[in-house]
Amino acid sequence: MVLHPQTEAVLQLMTASYPDIGAGVTDAAAARRVLSRVKQPPAPQLPRVEDRVIAGPPDIPVRIYWPSVQAGPHPVIVYFHGGGFVLCGLDTHDGLCRILASGVPAIVISVDYRLSPEHKYPAAVADAYRAVSWTYKHAVSLGGDPRRIVAAGDSAGGNLATVTCLRIRDSGGPPVAFQLLLYPWLDFLADLPSRRENAEGYYLTATHLRWFEQQYLNEPVEAAHPYVSPLRAENLADLPPAMVLTAEFDPLRDEGEAYGSRLAAAGVPVQVHRADGLFHCFLAMVDFLPGAREAAETVCAAVRSAVGPHLHD
């Protein structure tokens, strides 16, 4: 497909407001300052949203969203934001978390994990695991069901959701009922067609990815570790059912779809949905991008089908 003219216009606006990381901007703090000035799109209103802290050390700030639907207990989505392990936070992904809380409906716990380069790998992985463990312990008191926890995230956050599920399988931990992986970054060593086809001009670039990797890793050899590049894990059996959402014009498209294929081959129930005509990080722009609203509905329906109220009966 080619980009719809409206999609092209939104892409240009988003690209213009995004820091020129890895080129004109090489300092993480400077990149965050640029991003903090970007106005976020409108999002659904919810009856209750609270900022809390998972007590440390280190403390992990979280933002909890409750859906409008009162009858519970609800599934609980533990959400890890994207941003290359360096950028973004609770505010940048507030709208997307509201879309999930409203659309599933579910309680959503957005996790403000530690960022690189101040806190390199595996700090974010440790925070993600702690957040899921905390959610399992506190789900009932929040109005949620500890049997219906979803590990979710976009881009780098999709990596953390995936890695958390691998870590729980490998070493024990709270049960996760479902993985929701939104255009996830799953292979730091990938040399796949989508990396070359979409290296420039579609918001997330090859230059961005190289810079993010340099900020996140202590040394290049870590890139091959399955808790950095989960697509390189030897065995994907016995993981939670999953949905993988990819975008046609995304350098990460092929690794997400390859992960879905490997999950299926390992006997893990999985849905893979490619959003044609769209680019990385599109899901928060449901009011502006043709096809984004439909993709968001597909995502919410997949979570609802996997961990909906029928599991409570």
Q: Which domains, and CATH codes, for the chain? A: 5-308 (3.40.50.1820)
Pairing mode, if any, of strands 107-111 and 60-66?
antiparallel
Contacts of 98 (CB under 8 A, 6+ apart): 43, 44, 45, 46, 65, 108
pLDDT in tens, 230-287: 999 999 999 999 999 999 999 999 999 999 999 999 999 999 999 999 999 999 899 9
Sign of CA pseudo-dihedral 36, 109, 249, 297: negative
Helix (H) / strand (E) containing 263: helix 253-265
Question: In a 3-state reduction of DSSP, which class is residue 275?
Answer: strand
Helices and strands, counts by H and E, the chain: 9, 8
Which residue type sits at 232? Answer: R
187 is catalytic: no
Helix (H) / strand (E) containing 65: strand 60-66
* Catalytic pick among 81, 93, 208, 280: 280
DSSP state, 227? T
State the pLDDT at residue 310. 54
Q: Alpha-carbon distance 63 to 268, whole Å?
A: 30
The two tokens of residue 174 are 């709270």
State the pLDDT at residue 313. 43
What angle (nearest 5°) sits at the alpha carbon of residue 94, between those of residues 93 and 98? Answer: 115
Spatial CA neighbour of 288 closest among 1, 12, 93: 12
pLDDT in tens, 6-22: 999 999 999 999 999 99
- Ranges of residues in the chain with a pLDDT under 70 are 310-313
* Catalytic pick among 155, 208, 229, 254: 155
280 is catalytic: yes
312 is catalytic: no
pTM for this prediction: 0.97
* Catalytic pick among 94, 145, 250, 254: 250
